[in-house]
């Protein structure tokens, strides 16, 4: 018996060479915030909307929709997702486009925006439409690089942010040298993490080079409607590409932010193609790669979104909800800036009010970020990105005071 136990003890594990992978930094920020018992703690790390009391906000339009779908059942959805959801979302984003009129759009429900990007990348490979190279901005959403690298794409980073603004010259120089046949991830609006978007004139120049270099754009569209309060205004760039320039593209959509459906993981990927026949083929490819991953998407969230988009009264309420959220974030930007000016905080803080969307890029150092957490119980990403939605009338002055004290005393 003893020799058998010794033998078992001496056996090597197949996992001996398995590396330890550090936790995702954003989720770790939230974990640390939740573990903190200090009453003044502030979380400006997570990209989730909070109301004026710092609480999660269930949109009135979502409440209305939920009351109508209380018995939506528990059956599997089709592989491509709920038909009324896909139709409603496609009409929402692509209405009045030639692609929609001519049935040139393929779509598939996804696990929010991350799932939409994942399906887009898989479909490009399955369709033999990718050379395995993809361009992303530097900086960008932290999951872009991980997602594409995990699918064996070669990831190239393009300069995007310089002197507290969009580095248009650096970006264009990199774009003009991009490898033909590559994919390129474009933030449709509310660039994450900088909040700096190209102007319409700059988007037109970007589109021209994308066309010239034969690049395939993937529009990461996680914030449509949430950014400005208008879906159409926020979707301007992607519509310009597909309608004015006749560029084929993929669009990764999410309703986490715009409907507050974070836990429901409800999104969609759409491919704009040259013909109805190509759309049919892409639909078959999307179903194939969906089947190989999650098999069938989540039902409840798609029923909520479908009800919001297909019920005129609820859709009108949603339009008001979008304005409520986007306006509160804009107001918090202004209040934070005004308070920093009042305190005469060293540095130029005007980028805060020039940026847009949920996030702001403060430019403070990792040492200063750590100091703010240790002394003031303020939790944020180590990139210096803050979620403006985490601020409200009760904590914005405290947050500004913490920044002011920190930049004066910590280098």
236 is catalytic: no
220 is catalytic: yes
* DSSP states of 113-145: HHHHHHHHHHHHHHTT---SEEEEEES--HHHH
- Which pLDDT does position 406 carry in this prediction? 97
Question: What tokens does 316 get?
Answer: 């009108």
Residues 340 and 54: their CA atoms lie apart, in Å, by 21
Task: Assign 105 to helix, strand or coil.
Answer: strand
Find out whether 181 and 214 touch, Cβ atoms under 8 Å: yes
> Residue 56 carries which DSSP code?
B
Instruction: Give 10-residue mean pLDDT values along the chain (411 residues).
Output: 61 93 88 94 92 94 96 93 98 98 98 98 96 97 96 98 95 98 98 96 98 98 97 98 98 98 97 98 98 97 98 98 97 98 96 94 93 96 92 97 96 85
Q: Which of 404, 398, 400 lies closest to 40 in space, CA to CA?
A: 398
Which one from 57, 141, 203, 349 is the annotated catalytic residue? 141
Question: What tokens does 206 get?
Answer: 């970007």
- Which pLDDT does position 1 carry in this prediction? 57
Cα–Cα distances in angstroms (integers) from residue 398 to residues 9, 33, 358, 387, in the given order: 56, 16, 20, 15
Which one from 239, 257, 349, 404 is the annotated catalytic residue? 257
Partnered with residue 162 across adjacent β-strands are: 165
138 is catalytic: no
- Which pLDDT does position 256 carry in this prediction? 97
According to DSSP, the β-strands at 183-187 and 154-159 are unpaired
Which one from 220, 234, 321, 404 is the annotated catalytic residue? 220
- Which pLDDT does position 5 carry in this prediction? 62
The model's pTM is 0.94
C-alpha angle 225-226-231 in degrees, rounded to nearest 5:
5
**Domains of the chain by start residue, with CATH:** 22-57+316-406 (3.90.1150.10), 61-314 (3.40.640.10)
């Amino acid at each position: 018996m003893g020799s058998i136990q010794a033998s078992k003890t001496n056996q090597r594990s197949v996992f001996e060479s398995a590396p330890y992978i550090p936790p995702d930094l954003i989720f770790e920020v939230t974990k640390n915030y939740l573990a903190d018992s200090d009453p003044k703690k502030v979380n400006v790390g997570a990209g989730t909307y909070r109301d004026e009391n710092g609480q999660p906000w269930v949109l009135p339009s979502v409440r209305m929709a939920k009351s109508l779908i209380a018995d939506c059942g528990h059956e599997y959805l089709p592989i491509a997702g709920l038909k009324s959801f896909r139709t409603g979302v496609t009409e929402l984003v692509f209405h009045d486009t030639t692609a929609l009129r001519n049935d040139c759009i393929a779509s598939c429900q996804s696990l929010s925006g991350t799932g939409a990007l994942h399906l887009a990348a898989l479909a490009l490979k399955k369709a033999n439409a990718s050379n395995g190279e993809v361009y992303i901005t530097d900086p960008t959403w932290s999951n872009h690089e991980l997602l594409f690298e995990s699918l064996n794409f070669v990831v190239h980073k393009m300069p995007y942010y310089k002197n507290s603004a969009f580095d248009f010259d650096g970006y264009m120089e990199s774009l003009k040298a991009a490898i033909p046949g590559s994919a390129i991830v474009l933030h449709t609006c509310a660039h994450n993490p900088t909040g700096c978007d190209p102007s319409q004139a700059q988007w037109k120049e970007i589109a021209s080079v994308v066309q010239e270099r034969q690049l395939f754009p993937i529009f990461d569209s996680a914030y449509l409607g949430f950014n400005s309060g208008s879906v159409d205004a926020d979707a301007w760039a992607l519509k310009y590409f597909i309608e004015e320039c006749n560029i084929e593209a993929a669009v990764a959509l999410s309703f986490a932010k715009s409907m507050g459906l974070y836990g429901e993981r409800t999104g969609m990927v759409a491919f704009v193609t040259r013909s109805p026949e190509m759309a049919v083929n892409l639909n078959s490819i999307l179903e194939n790669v969906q089947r190989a991953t999650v098999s069938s998407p989540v039902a409840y969230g798609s029923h909520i979104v479908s009800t919001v988009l297909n019920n005129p009264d609820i859709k009108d309420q949603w339009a008001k909800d979008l304005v409520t959220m986007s306006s509160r974030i804009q107001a918090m930007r202004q209040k934070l800036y005004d308070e920093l000016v009042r305190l005469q905080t060293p540095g130029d803080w005007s980028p805060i009010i020039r940026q847009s969307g949920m996030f702001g890029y403060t430019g403070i150092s990792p040492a200063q970020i750590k100091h703010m957490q240790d002394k003031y119980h303020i939790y944020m990403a180590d990139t210096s990105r803050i979620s403006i939605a985490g601020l409200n009338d009760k904590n914005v002055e405290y947050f500004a005071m913490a920044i002011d004290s920190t930049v004066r005393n910590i280098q």
